[in-house]
Structures are given as structure tokens and as C-alpha cells.
A = this chain, B = another copy of it.
Amino acid sequence: MGVSIRDVAARAGVSVGTVSNVLNRPDSVPEATLERVRSAIAELGYVRNDAARQLRAGRSTTVGLVVLDARNPFFTDVARGADDEAALHGLSVLIGNSDEHPERELRLVSHFEEQRAHGLLISPIGDDVARLREIRERGIPVVLVDRTVAGSGFSSVAVDDVHGGELAARHLLDAGRRRIAYVGGPAGLRQVADRAEGARRAVAAVDGASLDLAAVASLTVAEGRTAGERLAALPAAERPDAVFAANDLIALGVLQALALAGVSVPGDVALIGYDDIDFAAAATVPLSSIRQPSRRMGATALSILVEEAADPSLAPRDVVFEPELVVRASTGG
């Protein structure tokens, strides 16, 4: 069908091995031959066949990145960081979206395994890493992103979400709020649980403070909106005076619903999110949030992956970044 390395060789009057050398080790080929082969390539419009190359090499030059929500700017930032770093190693990053569905996650993981991916960056949904272990045993290194799984033996890059949750709740308490609602879900997501745990600790340290949990099905604007509607529908006396949303998308949804219902933010309800995505600062009421170094997380995860790919015997490493409170108008700042 297409033009192969063999055609190029014939045209240039050399052997296939030489063409391959021109392609991969141009330094080892004298100028004259280089020139001849290169013009043959140009004349024939030869394009390397990556499938054949990978088959030979045994592994691909692609790194899989499995995220919970490809539309969440937090993850696009992580991806960007990983991509930048990958470019330095001659790799490229492929983004797969699990959408918080375990079966989609499995499918993606299998897909990357069939591709013989160079490695896998994943933000797993549950704690069941059995499948990931298989993958690693078959030679594909795995690095966990945005969370750790205790004792799993996988390297990870994450943020101290318990601390982040604590920062957020304490900020609300410092602002004089006492009845805090935590809007998050699904409960199976470790990030969601950790942030709640942090909030719980902060609340426990203050007399007369309480924490309510409002579960949502996923970390999206739409879910935040319906949660916000529920809150707005409560009689004012029962309504919390502060909301801590498990991420900014939910916070934005809550904000929309409250605004629509005439509930003032931060007057009636203080609101804080998590992730500090770009859009947080541009919200109806600029949103306080917890910032994570998303881009750096992606880059770090990828470089760990590269090291483990080169030497699978490396001991797993857990990198934990510290979250940072960003105060804006939604909490009265």
C-alpha cells in the first residue's frame, strides 16, 4: 500500500539497514549517503510506520492518562503538565476519560494495555487496584495521580486533601460561620472522603460548630446546581450558613442555584470550592477555593513514570504537595 523503508532503500541504492540508520542514527552515516537517502525519502513521500516500529520495540511511546472528568479544568491542567514533561522525553500523552464509571475505567486501562503503553497515569475511582497490579506485572509502570492508595506499592503524586479540607473549613469557621454543609460525592472517591475528613477535624476543634454532608452523584456543575436548589429550598433557619464544595464545578453550580433563589453569597451563605480552576475567579461571585499545583502534579507524575519505566525495580515514591487557601469574595474576603 504505502511507501516502505524498502522502497526508499531501492530508490537510494542502499540497503534497508542504511535507511534505518539515517532515520535513527544519522550521526553514524556519512554526509553523502545521508543526502541521497533523504532525497529519496522526500521524493517518495515516505512516512514512518509507527505500528511496525512499536511492534519491533515492544512498547509504544505513548503514555496513557486516565482522568475522572476530562472537562474539569483541573484535569486539563494536570494533562498539560504531563504533556510538557512528556515532550522532553519524546513521549506523548493520551487522555482517557473514565467519567467516574468503573467500567469505563477498566476499558481504558485495557485499551492502554493493548497499546503496550509506555506507562499509565491514573486517577483511580476506587481502592481496587488489582487490575493495575496486573498491568504493572506485565511491564507497564503505573503512577497514581491526585491520590494515593495506601500500601498499594504504586508511586503517587497527590495533594494532602485532608489538610486541604481542613484549610477550607477552618477558613469558614474563622469567618464566623458555624453550620457548614459539605457538598460532595460520590463517597467512593477518595478525594471526596479526604476533604470531608479534613473538614470534620476543623469543625471538631470549634465549639458549637456542625458539619452536614450533602451527597451528590458526581463532581459536576449540574450536580452542584441541584444540590444548591435543595439548600435554597430549606427554611432560612435550617439552612447552613456556609457551604464547602468538594470541587469548584460543584461550587459554581451551588452558586448559580443560590443566586437564582435569591440567597445571598456570602451574605446568607459563605461558599468555598476546591481546585481553584481558572473559572473560579470569574464566577458570579468570585469563588474562594483551595489551590492545587495541578500542572506541576502532572509533570511530576510523568517524570516518575519515566524513571520507573527505565528501571522497574525502583521503590515506589509518594509525592505530596501542599494545598493553598485562596480567599475571594464568596467567603466575604
Q: Which residues of B sit under 8 angstroms from A71, Cβ to Cβ?
A: 73, 76-77, 80
Question: Which residues of chain B are near A80, meaning CB under 8 Å?
Answer: 70-71
Query: What are 30 sample pairs from A and B whose C-beta atoms fall under 8 A apart?
Result: A1-B58, A1-B139, A2-B58, A2-B138, A2-B139, A48-B114, A49-B116, A50-B114, A51-B51, A51-B52, A51-B54, A51-B60, A51-B115, A51-B116, A52-B55, A70-B79, A70-B80, A71-B76, A71-B77, A76-B76, A83-B97, A92-B111, A94-B94, A95-B95, A252-B282, A253-B282, A256-B281, A256-B282, A283-B283, A284-B284
A86 within 8 A of B: no
Mark interface residues in A63-74 (1 if CB within 8 Å of B CB, else 0): 000000011010
Residue of chain B at shortest CB distance from A97: B83
A174 at the interface (CB under 8 A from B): no
Determine whether A275 belongs to the interface, using a CB cutoff of 8 Å to chain B. Answer: no
- Bound Cα distance A279, B273 (Å): 15
Other A-B pairs, 8, CB within 8 Å; known A92-B111, A284-B284: A45-B138, A47-B113, A47-B138, A49-B114, A50-B115, A51-B52, A51-B116, A94-B94
A256 CA / B221 CA spacing, docked (Å): 21
Please name all residues of chain B whose beta carbon is closer than 8 Å to the beta carbon of A58 when the two chains form the complex: 1-2
Residues of A within 8 A of B (CB): 1-2, 45, 47-52, 54-55, 58, 60, 70-71, 73, 76-77, 79-80, 83, 92, 94-95, 97, 110-111, 113-116, 134, 138-139, 221, 252-253, 255-256, 278-279, 281-286
Say yes or no: A55 contacts B49, CB within 8 Å.
yes
Contact A279 B279 (CB under 8 A): yes
- Is A114 touching B47 in the complex (CB atoms < 8 A)? yes
Given A1-B58, A55-B49, A283 contacting B281 (CB threshold 8 A) = no
Q: Which of B116, B221, B282 contacts A283 (CB 8 A)?
A: B282
- Chain B residues, Cβ within 8 Å of A95: 95
On chain B, the residues within 8 Å of A45 by CB distance are 134, 138
Residue of A48, A79, A282 contacting most chain B CB atoms (<10 Å): A282
Q: How far is the CB of A133 from chain B (nearest CB, A)?
A: 12
Q: Measured between alpha carbons, how far is A49 from B52 in the docked complex, in Å? A: 12
Chain B hits for A54, CB < 8 A: 51
